[in-house]
Structures are given as C-alpha cells and as structure tokens.
C-alpha cells in the first residue's frame, strides 16, 4: 500500500517536471529559431555596426527570419562583415534587397532590418554565401548630434 503511494507521488513529481519543461519550451524559450541546419548564409558589409551583436535578430517588416551568426573585420578594407544566417523557409530574396541596422525603441537592442528589393527581369535571387550590396550602417547618436550642430552652424 505504502509502496503504491510512493510510486504515485514520484509519478506526480515526474508529471510536474514535464509540465515545467513544456512551459519553458513553449512559452518561455524560443526554441524554434535556434535549431541550426536548415539555414543559409548571407554576408553584409557595414561601415559601422553600432551595438549589433552575434545572435541579434534579422527581421523583415518585424518578422524574424534569421539571426546574426558572427561579426568580424574584413582583413583588406577594415570594414565589419556581418554573417547572417537565414532560415531556409525564407528563400528567394532578390539581389536588390537592402539591410540596415535598426534599434527597437529608444533603449532597445539593435537588430538588422531586411528590406526585400524589387524583383524584375535580369535580377537574380540571393544565394547561399552572397554579399548584400546595399547596406545602411547603424545610427550613432554622437554622429547625429555632430551633424545637427554642423548644419545649424552652416545655416547662419
């Protein structure tokens, strides 16, 4: 009798743990985008990446389609190269697409805004390993203030 009770309570313990794992898996963690393998890689060169980090999101109109895989400095022209890993299900962006580094909210983290270009004859689609040509760097607050002051000065 007591043995049955022990088994029952251990069963409750196991069920609770499974519940906790399910909660963590479905509601808490974003397990969907972390599964590697079904992604392809694009590269983009920026003048300045600001606060972008590895694993920052890549978004098209707010929808996350991939993540920043790594950031390194090009050895020849000393500009940052960002490696984007994009989910396979979002394929076939035209070559004319552009990327820019954006900030979510005033204090939020930085992410890559991906702007699909227009598709017309003679424009191929982006393939694995291609470089995105059209890039806009991160806005650096100090530069903006400098420009603002400069333009004020030249007006007068």
Partner 1 sequence: MRAIQQIGANTIDKVAAAGRAGLMLFGALFAVPRPKNIPLTIHQVHVVGVQSLLIIMVSGLFIGMVMALQGYTILVDYGAEGSLGPMVALSLLRELGPVVTALLFAGRAGSALTAEIGLMKATEQLSSLEMMAVDPLRRVVAPRFWAGMISMPMLALIFSAVGILGGHLVGVDWLGVDAGSYWSLMQAAVEWDKDVVNGVVKSLVFALVVTWIAIFKGYDSIPTSEGISKATTETVVFSSLAVLGLDFVLTALMFGIE
Q: Is 16 in the site for partner 1 (CB under 8 A)?
A: yes
Where does the chain show beta strands of DSSP type E? 39-45, 57-60, 63-73, 80-87, 98-103, 110-115, 131-132, 134-136
Token pair recorded at residue 64: 């996350």
Q: Which is nearer to partner 1, 38 or 156 (CB)?
A: 38
Q: Which of 42, 57, 58, 65 binds partner 1 (CB under 8 A)?
A: 57
Q: Which is nearer to partner 1, 6 or 149 (CB)?
A: 6
Angle at 135 between CA 134 and CA 138, to 5 degrees: 165
At a CB cut-off of 8 Å and minimum separation 6, what does 9 contact?
Answer: none
Q: Is 151 in the site for partner 1 (CB under 8 A)?
A: no
Q: What is the closest distance, in whole angstroms, from the C-beta atom of residue 104 to partner 1 in the complex?
A: 10
Q: Is 27 in the site for partner 1 (CB under 8 A)?
A: yes
Token pair recorded at residue 120: 């017309």
> How far is it, in rounded angstroms, from Cα 48 to Cα 35?
29
- Whether residue 104 contacts residue 49, with contact meaning beta carbons closer than 8 Å, is answered with no
Q: Is 15 in the site for partner 1 (CB under 8 A)?
A: no
Q: Is 141 in the site for partner 1 (CB under 8 A)?
A: no
Instruction: Please state, in angstroms and as integers, the Cα–Cα distance from residue 42 to each residue in 4, 6, 93, 120, 153, following that order.
Output: 58, 56, 11, 21, 42
Q: Is 144 in the site for partner 1 (CB under 8 A)?
A: no
Q: Is 63 in the site for partner 1 (CB under 8 A)?
A: no
Q: Is 25 in the site for partner 1 (CB under 8 A)?
A: yes
Q: Which of 17, 125, 133, 147 binds partner 1 (CB under 8 A)?
A: 17
Q: What is the closest distance, in whole angstroms, from the C-beta atom of residue 37 to partner 1 in the complex?
A: 13
Binding site for partner 1 (CB under 8 A): 3, 6-7, 9-10, 12-14, 16-17, 19-21, 23-25, 27-31, 34, 53-55, 57, 107
């Amino acid at each position: 009798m007591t043995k049955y009770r022990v088994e029952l309570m251990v069963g409750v313990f196991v069920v609770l743990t499974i519940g906790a794992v399910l909660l963590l898996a479905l509601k808490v963690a974003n397990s969907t985008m972390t599964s590697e393998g079904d992604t392809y890689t694009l590269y983009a060169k920026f003048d300045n990446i600001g606060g972008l980090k590895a694993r920052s999101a890549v978004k098209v109109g707010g929808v996350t389609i991939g993540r920043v895989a790594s950031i390194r400095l090009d050895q020849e022209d000393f500009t940052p190269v960002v490696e984007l890993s994009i989910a396979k299900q979002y394929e076939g962006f035209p070559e004319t697409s552009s990327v820019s580094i954006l900030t979510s909210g005033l204090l939020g983290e930085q992410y890559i805004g991906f702007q699909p270009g227009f598709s017309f004859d003679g424009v191929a689609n982006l393939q694995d390993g291609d470089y995105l040509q059209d890039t806009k760097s991160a806005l650096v607050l100090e530069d903006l203030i400098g420009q603002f002051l400069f333009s004020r000065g030249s007006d007068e």
